[in-house]
Amino acid sequence: MTPRNLDTSAVSPDVHARHISDVATSRDRASFAALFAYFAPRVKSYLMRLGTPPALAEELAQETMLSVWRKAELFDADRASASTWIFTIARNLRIDAARRFRDPNAFAAEIEPDAPEEPFAIVARHQSQTVVRDALKQLPAEQRQVLTLSFFEDRPHSEIAAALGIPLGTVKSRVRLAISKLRELVEGVT
């Protein structure tokens, strides 16, 4: 049975797989609504971070979720997590859209180029990066590892927990502690 008032901010990956299974077996609309509420905004953000224009990212996110509805029976929880499967669908749809444009730089062309960066800004950015890099080196290895996976590799916390074999709550607390420690270290330098 699928809960009606699902708080999607603290959902375990198993719940997503169960929702996909419910959609596949009985076309459960409540399960699909929960999947849509959780994944559609995340898929759109992911696509925009890849350089997809916002309107196209919205369209592709909806198309991704429609594919989840249509192809739910193809999902295999033994081969991939629900999020991996859904984000793979989104990535493939983005690739197909880029091919339709027949220009590998089609998405980049819609982004206005930035004005040339001032020399002072370049130096300031470089100094800031150095401070952050040095601060990262001072973090405990466990905190640095989850921070790297979360922010630099853009992996979801649930995926990090599975990869490292630690509880999801541990991942979240390590990220929180690492950010707090980084803030202290960076503010102490600046």
What are the chain's domains? 8-108 (1.10.1740.10), 119-183 (1.10.10.10)
Candidates 74, 98, 99; CA nearest to 85 is 74
Residue 51 has phi, psi (to 5 degrees) of: 100, 5
Per-residue pLDDT for the chain (190 aa), expressed as one digit of tens each? Answer: 333 444 444 456 578 899 999 999 999 999 999 999 999 999 999 999 888 888 899 999 999 999 999 999 999 888 888 889 999 999 999 988 887 776 555 555 444 445 566 777 777 777 888 888 888 889 999 998 998 888 777 788 998 999 899 999 999 999 999 888 888 888 876 5
Q: What is the DSSP string of 83-131?
A: HHHHHHHHHHHHHHHHHHHT-TTHHHHTSPPPPPPPHHHHHHHHHHHHH
Model pTM score: 0.50
Angle between helices 13-26 and 29-49 (to 10 degrees): 120
Rounded Cα gap, residues 127 and 131, in angstroms: 6
For 127, residues 6+ apart whose C-beta sits below 8 A from its C-beta are none
